[in-house]
Structure formats: structure tokens, C-alpha cells
Amino acid sequence: MKTFNNTGFDERKRTYLNQEGAERPLKSPIPHATLVSARQYRLARIREQLQNFDYAALLLYDPVNIRYALDVRNMQVWCAHSAMRYALIFADGPAIMFEFDGCHHLCDGYEGIDEVRSSVPWIFMEVGDRVPQQVASWGREIAELMRSHGAGNRRLAVDKLEPLGLKELEAHGLEIVDGQELTERARAIKSEDELTLMRWTIRVCEAGMARIYENSVAGRSEQELWAELHYENARSGGEWLETRLLTCGARTNPWYQECSDYVCRQGEMISFDTDMIGPYGYCADLSRSWTCGYTPMTSKQAELYAAAVEQINHNLEIIECGMSFREFNAKSWRIPERFQPYRYSLAAHGVGMADEWPVIPLHPDFESACEGRFEENMVLCVESLIGEKGSESIKLEVQVVVRDRTVERLDSFPFEEI
């Protein structure tokens, strides 16, 4: 069996900090023209899917979908649970952004937005007992726009909508259809400009991972280590972290325990999953594990780590453009029985501005999988979680883009030395 011997501080990881100095934020070298081109591509993808599905328009409330389609952002996390701003995009007509009063200026300079209107909120938190009047006003405006720009097509796709809004639109004679498949299929295939933006998010994420590594010494709490990634992301233009998955020692198993004030001890395994929404709104979803204090791994830690690396490498090697998810499952790495009760549920999943379709379960759970194939320029995260009864867990995850008959790694932050 291969052995892993991290016998001290790994200088390779330090190189991921800002080479101008660890105390300076990273500054994007990407020209504005690349961003403009990515915006144009994404909006075109949405309209292409509208035409494929024969929908007149798409109503978006999910701030990630709005960011994908039009790139304009405004209090993204808050808007994820407060339905206050939305966008309406026609297959053959305008893209209209409905923004808070006083926030219209946030839409300035975005090439894909044809018109900005004031949003009409109707959630109880905002309007209280005025909900009936507000939802009626909102519904009339949407219906009027569909009559003006829908060319007689009454099919409106919606990504997220409370029941009251659905009933209101149907009362106006609109056929409401689920827009989630449309948006997921649009987002699944990246342009080269999108990949350039994603690589920069990954660069920022890896600088944050290097900060975690620099501080992986006894006496630091899980939350203090997690804050290093937040810090690098925020100061370098990133946005938020979707989870709190960093744990130490026995708290790594079972997985999915959120980081706490637990203080890491020398020699314990530190395992984490970044789930970082970084600059330009793209996600860097990477996982690594190493020992606290840069100590050599124990024989058990090394055994688990070797299995995790084997799983990642095997599954990377078999992915091909055009391969079905079912064929991938049949050829995928088989997790030994002693690890199965503590397994991660996924072998791979799509990623873009967040975790995306497709989701490909690990082989013991594959019967719940959707059908599909790997397509060129899909971006995937390939994952491993290895642990057994009474052990720590090793979490590894890499991010790749599917190319013609192979995959290209987008991340490069090193695993522990073999």
C-alpha cells in the first residue's frame, strides 16, 4: 500500500497565498470583455432553452438564476429567503429586471437587461394584511407583459413561486410550468469565458485553503480555521459559503457536522468542504484533509487517505464525454464494505454558480439516479469520503471540466504527499 508521510509543513501549499504578500487580497486579472462575453452566452443559453421547451418566458426568483441570466446582484443570501426581486425573460422579447425601489441603479451597465421596473412584493413579512392587493397588482403586471411579448404563447416557466402567486397567475389564464429543468440544463454547459471566471474563483478558494493550512495548529478552533476561508473570499471579491463543513478529529465522523468551537489537537485529522461562492458568482467546491500540526499520519489515517485518493483518481480516469451516468456507475470505484456505512452519497455532481445538475449517486445508491450523459464543457465535482467505525473521515473533492474523451482539472491544490 502507498504510504502518506506529511512530515512537516508543506511549502507547496504556501504558494497559493497571494505572491505579493499574504496580507493582500487577490486582484482579478480578467478583462471586462471576458465578463461581458460570459453574460451574453448565459442569457443566450436561457433563451435557447425557452425555445427548446416552447415556453414564452421565464420568471426567476432564485437569486442564483437571476445572477446567471442577467448577472445583476442585490443582497443575494437575503433574497434567497425573501421573495422581493425577480426577473422576467422572454424567449423572443425583452429581459426585464424587477428591483427594489431605490435600487434601480444596481442594474446600470448590464448589457442583457432591457428594462428595469420596481418590484411588487407580496410576501407577508413585507406587506402584512395588504397581501391580497399586492399579489393582484403583481399578477396583473406579469399577465400584461405576457400578452404584450408572448406572441400568443401563454406558457410561463417559473423557478420558485409561493402557492398564492401560482394561483394568481393561473387566474389570468397563464399556464405555469416548472422552470427548474430549463435553468439547470442551461447552466450545465459552460463557455470558455465562464471557465475563465470559474478558474479565478478557484484561485481565490485555494488561497483561502492555504490560509486554513497555515493556521492548522493545535489550539485553533474549527470556527477559527473556517473563518480563514471566509476572510480570503470576502476580501478578494467573493460572496458567501454555502455550508460550514470543517471538522477535526472524531468530529469528522459521521460527516455533515458543522464547524464549532471545538479546539483542534495535534495529530487530529482536519477535513473540510469549501462550498464557496466566490468572485463573479461562481462556486469553488473543493475538499481536502490533513493533520493538525503537520504531523505524520498514523497508519489508520494513511490507510483511509490512500483509499480516498484511489477513489478520486479512478473515477477521474473513466469519465468520458458522451458516457452515460449508468455506464460511469458500472465502471466506478467500488467502496469497500467496511467504509460503506460512513460513505458520502455522491460520486460526482455538476457545479457552476452553485451545485448543479447532474447529481450522480455513489454505486450503492445509484438506483435513485437520473438518466443522462456527460457532455462537453460540463463542470463536475468528483468526491470521496472515507471512514469506518471509530475512525476519522477523509474528505477529498476536485473540480473538473469534461473535454473530448477526458477531463481537465480546474483545481490544483495538492493532496498530501505520497
CA distance 395 to 327: 25
CA distance 415 to 396: 9
Question: DSSP code of 92?
Answer: T
pLDDT of residue 405: 81
Kindly state the cell numbers that stand for 141: 403586471
Kindly state the cell numbers that stand for 4: 502518506
Query: Closest Cα to residue 134, out of 177, 83, 210, 74?
Result: 83
pLDDT of residue 22: 67
Q: How far is CA 105 from CA 17, 108, 237, in A?
A: 35, 5, 20
Query: Closest Cα to residue 71, out of 101, 29, 37?
Result: 37
Question: Dihedral of CA 76/80/82/84: which sign?
Answer: positive
CA distance 71 to 386: 38
323-354: buried (b, 16+ CB within 10 Å) or exposed (e) per residue?
bebeebbeebbebeeebeebbbebbbbbbbbb
Amino acid at 29: P
Q: What is the mean pLDDT of each run of 10 residues along the chain (418 residues)?
A: 59 88 86 98 98 98 98 96 97 97 96 98 95 98 98 97 97 98 98 98 97 97 98 97 98 98 98 98 98 97 98 98 97 97 96 97 91 97 98 98 95 91
Calculate the dihedral angle through the C-alpha atoms of 241, 247, 251, 252, rounding to the nearest 10 degrees: 90
Q: How far is CA 280 from CA 28, 144, 225, 244, 352, in A?
A: 10, 33, 24, 21, 11
Kindly state the cell numbers that stand for 85: 426581486
Domains of the chain: 11-25+189-409 (3.90.230.10), 32-188 (3.40.350.10)
Listing DSSP states for 328-376 in one string gives HHHHSPPPPGGGGGG--SEEEEEESSSEEEEEEE-GGGGGGPPP-B--T
pLDDT of residue 3: 41
Q: How far is CA 88 from CA 60, 119, 305, in A?
A: 6, 11, 48
Whole-structure pTM value: 0.95
Query: Closest Cα to residue 401, out of 242, 177, 198, 121?
Result: 198
Q: Return the residue matching grid coordinates 413561486.
A: 161
Kindly state the cell numbers that stand for 113: 437587461
What percentage of the chain's residues is helix, strand, coil (to nearest 5)?
40, 20, 40
Q: Let me know how long the chain is.
A: 418
